[in-house]
Amino acid sequence: MVNWNNLDTLASYEELKQAKRVNLVEAMSGESGAERVKKYSVPMAEGLVYNYAAKQVDDGILADLVKLAEEAQLAEKFEVLYNGEMVNTGEKRLVLHHMTRGQLGEPVEADGVDKRTFYTTQQQKIAEFANKVHAGEITNAAGEKFTTVVQIGIGGSDLGPRAIYLALENWAKKHDTLKMEAKFISNVDPDDAAAVLNSIDVAHSIFVLVSKSGTTLETLTNESFVKDALKNAGLDASKHMIAVTSETSPLAKSADYLAAFFMDDYIGGRYSSSSAVGGAVLSLAFGPEVFAAFLDGMAEEDKLCKNKNVLENPSMLDALIGVYERNVLGYLCTAVLPYSQALSRFPAHLQQLDMESNGKSVNRFGERVSYETGPVIFGEPGTNGQHSFYQLLHQGTSIVPLQFIGYRNNQMETDVVIQGSTSQQKLCANVAAQIVAFACGKEDENRNKNFEGGRPSSIIIGDQVNPRTVGALLAHFENKVMFQGFVWNVNSFDQEGVQLGKLLAKRVLAHDTDGALKEYSDLLNI
């Protein structure tokens, strides 16, 4: 039987708080550091490796984290989730995003259908549609091929698919599988839509409207923007638009769209990249085979999360170390630092994934918790970040745990030798140097040049950014966030925190305001 208990009621948590702290400077210096790098590493799917040698853990801390995982029943909770129990207590829904990429447990039926079949059916329909577009069987009114796909959506309908598209765009060019250029419109700011529409040939563009309810204000506003642009170009908007929505939304059977592909209530927006939300735009951009490879990478990483041995379960281990940093060591933030320009928007997606999931102050039963929950997530690609905010990370008053991501090879498989080394070698040298610099520091009599060290980090290392490794990487973080939510006993699958502002915005637009809301509305000439 699974028990949902608060973190501060667990005996293993009390043990963890009493455990001796690790002196990271000593641990990572000299031969001790070399041995840690070899020892504290665990394989992920698709050839990735999670190395946590530069974290403030040792065998004793790890043993306590294993106890915490067992007492919190993390493996058992994952099992009830993928077997279809109602884990989203806030909205009283199943949580089924794992099922979009594989069957981890028992068949799950909801809404009168087998859900794995539902998701694969949508994927097949998307694949057939994309293939027809690429083959010129579905064209614009002039019988010409579509060359650009534009996703219209916000939040999870934008951040994940956009991050994945950017991650794979150069890889697809190199492997001759970039079928269509993709663009994204998300912000209700009219400058966003205008910038995209001014950069494309609308006559050769197909637009993907993503809204589960069919009522998302920002998305429908941008759809109107696009429809006006098509109309002004003398084009029939219904011949240029498809919808990704729920079967019960007003978009589902509308004649305004070439086709409609379906999602459901059991997959939150930030977990929806592996559903039709990501499937439509990515299959059109790269071809269905590339999207299928992305799903395969996710599925392989999901399988590792079933392992009850914490030290062989990279997502669970990463999650537990993060809980230790947040709740015992007291660190507020985590920086995500991919040393790959392809992953330039990956930190932005992880911001939503993590902070929308675990940014909660009440537990699964609506009771206020007395401990910290989700961290603040931020980040930029290296080496750009080194010349931006790394100053604070190295010498600021707050310690920020770091999550590096690095690859041995670039995507384009071209490089140049300058001063005896290639650009890729310089990139990799920087990430290796940063890990040791943060951990070990450097003593200097000049206090401005003194580095205290003791700044923890981990790194995920792979050979190259490609569809399967991107899938595995994303699944790792999705599952990490899930496991942390289990430890904190919060509901990681609702997001009520985004609703209040929307409700007040509707009042402003209806001129139903008073007090400060009216004054701010007047200042903005609404």
> Which candidate in 223, 356, 380, 478 is catalytic?
356
DSSP state, 20? P
Per-residue pLDDT at 343: 98
* pLDDT on residue 498: 85
Q: Please say if the pLDDT value at position 279 is more than 90.
A: yes
pLDDT given for residue 91 in this prediction: 92
Which residues are paired to 261 by β-bridges? 244
Convert the pLDDT of each residue in 59-80 to its tens digit: 999 999 999 999 999 999 999 9
For residue 509, the one-letter residue type is: L
Q: What is the pLDDT of residues 135-160, one digit of tens each?
A: 999 999 999 999 999 999 999 999 99
356 annotated active-site: yes
Going by C-alpha positions, the residue among 265, 235, 233 that lies closest to residue 248 is 265
**Taking 90 as the threshold, does the pLDDT of residue 215 lie above it?**
no
CA 80 – CA 470 distance, rounded (Å): 26
pLDDT at residue 144, as a whole number: 96
Nearest to 460 by CA among 435, 485, 423, 493: 435
> What percentage of the chain reaches a pLDDT higher than 90?
94
Distance CA 119, CA 478 (A): 19
Mean pLDDT throughout 459-474?
98
What pLDDT does residue 408 have?
97
Mean pLDDT across 421-442: 97
What confidence score (pLDDT) does residue 502 get? 86
For position 441, what pLDDT does the model report? 98
pLDDT tens per residue across span 475-523 = 999 999 999 999 999 999 999 988 888 889 999 999 999 999 999 999 9
- Residue 389 has what pLDDT? 97
What is the DSSP code (8-state) at residue 442?
B
Beta bridge partners of 243: 209, 260
Quick: pLDDT tens for 2-47. Answer: 999 999 999 999 999 999 999 999 999 999 999 999 999 999 999 9
Choosing from 132, 387, 449, 506, the catalytic residue is: 387
The stretch 387-410 carries a mean pLDDT of: 98
Please report, to the nearest 10 degrees, the dihedral formed by the alpha carbons of residues 351, 303, 341, 195 taken in order: -60
pLDDT band at 199; cut points 50, 70, 90 = very high
